[in-house]
């Protein structure tokens, strides 16, 4: 297994619409394992393949407190939506930002598991929000798209400035920062 690099907004690759998964071969299993490892390491509670530059309809989620209940969704579809809930959402591709987004509070989901078996499941609350957030990713959509263009622009500029600063820092300095943990930790609930 390996930890993959997570693309960050406004990387244009995050705007790619992912293709359906048709092969559940060993190579695909490796991608699933890498995504789980990358999500747990971030740490995050959800990750879409698009975020690691793999443009397949694949999502991993784990909202359990113990991080021991992974859910792998392949070619997911939402069959029905109900209600509305506003949640502060974060995203591993928009590090450090949390904004309120309104989504359906209940969904009925159909997907395949990592071996290709089709299943249906009702999702509520946090899990429903998480699934909808990740399904946006595989369609090339980000949670910042729900914000005003002014807010989105402000986030984009700040992230680009931060990235530039990271890029111009000397190698020794970035090593020192990595070891003393000075880098701003990503919130636990990012997805």
Catalytic residues: 134
CB nearer to Zn ion: pick between 91 and 135: 91
Give the shortest CB-184-to-Zn ion separation in angstroms: 17
Stretch that binds Zn ion, among 88-96, 118-126, 152-160, 172-180 (CB under 5 A): 88-96
Quick note: the x/- pattern for Zn ion over 152-191, rule CB under 5 A, is ---------------------------------------x
Give the shortest CB-26-to-Zn ion separation in angstroms: 27
Stretch that binds Zn ion, among 17-25, 84-92, 111-119, 122-130 (CB under 5 A): 84-92
* 135 contacts Zn ion (rule: CB under 5 A): no
Alpha-carbon dihedral angle through residues 41, 47, 51, 55, given to the nearest 10 degrees: 130
d(CA 84, CA 104): 4
CB nearer to Zn ion: pick between 74 and 95: 95
Give the shortest CB-137-to-Zn ion separation in angstroms: 6
CB nearer to Zn ion: pick between 91 and 127: 91
Give the shortest CB-93-to-Zn ion separation in angstroms: 5
* 91 contacts Zn ion (rule: CB under 5 A): yes
Three-state DSSP string of the chain: CCCCCCCCCCCHHHHCCCECCCCCCHHHHHHHHHHHHHHHHCCCCEEEHHHHCCCECEEEECCCCCCCCCEEEEEEEEEEEECCEEEEECCCCCCCCCEEEEECCEEEEEEECCCCCEEEEEEEHHHHHHHHHHHHHHCCCCHHHHCCHHHHHHHHHHHHHHHHHHHHCCHHHHHHHHHHCCCCCCCCCCC
CB nearer to Zn ion: pick between 51 and 75: 51
Stretch that binds Zn ion, among 4-12, 61-69, 85-93, 158-166 (CB under 5 A): 85-93
d(CA 34, CA 175): 24
What residues make contact with Zn ion under the rule CB under 5 A?
Answer: 91, 191
């Amino acid at each position: 297994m390996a930890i993959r690099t997570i693309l960050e907004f406004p990387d244009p690759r995050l705007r790619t619409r992912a293709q359906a998964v048709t092969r559940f071969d060993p190579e695909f299993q490796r991608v699933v394992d890498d995504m789980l490892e990358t999500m747990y390491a971030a740490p995050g509670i959800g990750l879409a393949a698009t975020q690691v530059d793999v443009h397949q309809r694949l999502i991993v989620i784990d909202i359990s407190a113990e991080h021991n209940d992974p859910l792998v969704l392949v070619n997911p579809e939402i069959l029905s939506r109900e209600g509305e809930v506003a949640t502060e959402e974060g995203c591993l591709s928009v590090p450090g930002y949390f904004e309120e987004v309104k989504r359906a509070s209940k969904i009925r989901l159909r997907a395949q598991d990592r071996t290709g078996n089709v299943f249906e499941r009702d999702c509520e609350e946090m899990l429903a929000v998480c699934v909808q957030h990740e399904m946006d990713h595989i369609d090339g959509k980000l949670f910042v798209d729900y914000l005003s263009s002014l807010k989105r622009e402000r986030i984009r500029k700040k992230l680009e400035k931060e990235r530039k600063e990271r890029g111009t820092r000397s190698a020794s300095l970035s090593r020192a920062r990595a070891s003393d943990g000075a880098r701003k930790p990503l919130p636990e609930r990012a997805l």
